[in-house]
């Protein structure tokens, strides 16, 4: 690390350019960490709004007992606002050890700021960009000293989202990245290192959640609400993909999907679906406009009602190929619901035939097991029988057989969702794609396994990191699901990453780092 930059120094001075939401958030956490901050903006009113906001946030912490009044006063005393509207406005940054720009996401704007900063700061001052979507290497191209330029990407709201991406451009020097990582820890954030690739780490890792959900809906498998219910009540996510897109704004989500897809030269794994383009054109952005995938009367999400469970008839149940560990719990569940279970090698002519494929669909299971497709219903046992249960039918499953399955699996108040035939149901497909994208990030050396999982948990709020999720499900099972999807659809979108394939074949955890050369 440069001798002139020590993240733990008591007299460290940080410059922040841009007093918007991100800039004032970065300034707040730096002030709380005891760092002097010079916050700059071309608009005087933005600086005043930022000062009032920061003071209010610090006072709120004092009221909660998280800061003493003396600490609030000292923090505000370390804040200096700097107007950059006049020529030479960046002169106050001359003594800064690090400057972070958080201006508009337009490269020409950022380049203009970078050129002004380089004329003002000392030769060892680190210059960082908080960009979420632009190339760090491209940003540094306008610098006279590109080696001291890096990405330092915080997430909104900065005080609550305890993650920051540290991104090196092609010419960034190692001491810069080490210094930024150390500073992130001083600010109370977890640094994750990533190379300069489209989406960096978090936005890249999040590609599969929304795009695969959209693909399911576009294929007519089920509706938006069904996907969200399955992913929250079965897979354990805090929010389903469509609720999430409504929260972030579809205009934002759609632009990111398209941008990353094209920046990766139409990589099929990131391929968007036409649904978002249509809904964006219609202005159905989500919460901020009152309607998106859901309606928001008075700001509250309105969920469509679920149809009541049918009563079903009394036909017996024959269980086909099911994982051994799930067989006894499934038998017990069905017996408690009053089902007569058949034990013969083949089902009787009237029996409901329950199957549980991984990566396959109900039609394929019926053909493989030589069953009457009119009586076949598939059950997703990826998460056993905990939480919401998902059943799917073949194109010709009789309504009576579907209703019998729903009645038995929904007995005792259990939640059940019925979907049309889909290789990999809903949760299997989405989770396998999430794991596969995480594996590809590791394979491309964009980030290490530990940083990938940390970024996914903290930045995306998933219940587990991408690779850790794969290890919980089993790498061989995840690969089998993807291979089943690719065989059924012919779509290279589902080809397993080499990182996944090699570790599955070797029975290694997906979190196993690459060995030395």
Question: Could you give the residue numbers annotated as active site?
Answer: 132, 153, 165, 203
Beta strands in 64-177 (DSSP E): 79-83, 98-101, 126-129, 149-154, 163-168
What's the CA gap between 129 and 152, in Å, rounded?
6
Give the helix/strand (H/E) hosting 347.
none
Q: Is 516 exposed, middle or buried (0-12, 13-18, 19+ CB in 10 A)?
A: exposed
361's CB contacts (< 8 A; 6+ apart) are: 378, 392, 394, 421, 422, 423, 424, 488
Helix H segments across 155-311? 174-186, 202-205, 207-218, 224-233, 241-248, 250-263, 274-281
Residue 338 neighbours by CB under 8 Å, 6+ apart: 408, 411
Three-state secondary-structure class, residue 509: coil
Q: Residue 51: which of 38, 63, 64 has the closest Cα?
A: 38
Integer Cα distance of 452 and 445 in angstroms: 10
- Angle value at C-alpha 264, between 261 and 269, nearest 5 degrees: 60
What are the angstrom distances between the C-alpha of 258 and each of 202, 269, 284?
Answer: 16, 12, 17
For residues 436 and 390, give the distance between their C-alpha atoms in angstroms, rounded to a whole number. 23
Q: In this structure, are residues 337 and 365 in contact, taking their beta carbons and an 8 Å threshold?
A: no
């Amino acid at each position: 690390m440069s001798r002139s930059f020590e993240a733990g120094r008591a007299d460290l001075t940080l410059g922040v350019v841009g007093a918007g939401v991100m800039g004032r958030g970065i300034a707040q956490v730096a002030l709380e960490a005891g760092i002097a901050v010079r916050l700059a903006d071309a608009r005087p009113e933005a600086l005043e709004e930022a000062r009032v906001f920061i003071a209010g946030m610090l006072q709120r912490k004092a009221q909660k007992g998280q800061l003493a009044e003396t600490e609030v006063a000292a923090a505000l005393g370390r804040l200096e606002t700097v107007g950059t509207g006049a020529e030479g406005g960046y002169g106050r940054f001359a003594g800064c050890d690090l400057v972070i720009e958080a201006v508009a996401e337009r490269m020409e704007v950022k380049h203009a700021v970078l050129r002004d900063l380089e004329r003002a700061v000392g030769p060892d001052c680190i210059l960082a960009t908080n960009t979420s979507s632009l190339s760090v290497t491209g940003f540094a191209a306008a610098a006279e000293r590109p080696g001291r330029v890096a990405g330092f990407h915080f997430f909104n709201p900065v005080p609550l989202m305890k993650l920051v991406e540290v991104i090196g451009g092609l010419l960034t020097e190692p001491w810069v990245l080490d210094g930024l990582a150390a500073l992130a820890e001083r600010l109370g954030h977890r640094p994750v290192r990533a190379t300069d690739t489209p989406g960096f780490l978090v936005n890249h890792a999040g590609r599969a959640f929304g795009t695969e959900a959209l693909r399911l809906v576009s294929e007519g498998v089920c509706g938006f609400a069904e996907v969200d219910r399955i992913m929250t009540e079965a897979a354990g996510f805090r929010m389903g993909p469509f609720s999430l897109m409504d929260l972030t704004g579809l205009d934002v989500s759609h632009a990111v999907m398209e941008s990353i897809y094209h920046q990766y030269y139409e990589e099929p794994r990131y391929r968007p679906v036409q649904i978002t383009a249509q809904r964006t054109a219609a202005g159905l952005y989500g919460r901020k406009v009152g309607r998106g995938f859901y309606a928001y009367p008075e700001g509250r999400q309105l969920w469509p009602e679920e149809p009541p469970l049918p009563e079903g008839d009394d036909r017996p149940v024959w269980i086909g190929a099911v994982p051994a560990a799930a067989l006894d719990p499934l038998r017990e569940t069905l017996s408690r619901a009053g089902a007569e279970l058949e034990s013969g090698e083949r089902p009787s002519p009237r029996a409901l035939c329950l199957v549980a494929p991984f990566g396959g669909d109900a039609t394929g299971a019926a053909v493989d097991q030589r069953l009457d497709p009119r009586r076949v219903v598939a059950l997703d046992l990826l998460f056993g029988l905990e939480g919401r249960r998902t059943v799917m039918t073949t194109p010709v499953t009789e309504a009576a057989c579907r209703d019998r399955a729903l009645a038995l699996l929904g007995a005792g108040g259990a939640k059940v969702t019925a979907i049309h035939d889909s290789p990999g149901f809903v949760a299997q497909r989405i989770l396998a794609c999430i794991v596969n994208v995480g594996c590809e990030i590791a394979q491309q050396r964009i980030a290490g396994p530990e940083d990938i999982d940390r970024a996914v948990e903290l930045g995306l709020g998933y219940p587990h990191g991408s690779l850790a999720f794969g290890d919980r499900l089993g790498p061989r099972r995840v690969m089998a699901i993807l291979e089943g999807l690719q065989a059924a659809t012919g779509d290279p979108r589902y080809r397993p990453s080499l990182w996944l394939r090699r570790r599955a074949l070797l029975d290694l955890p997906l979190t196993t780092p690459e060995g030395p050369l």
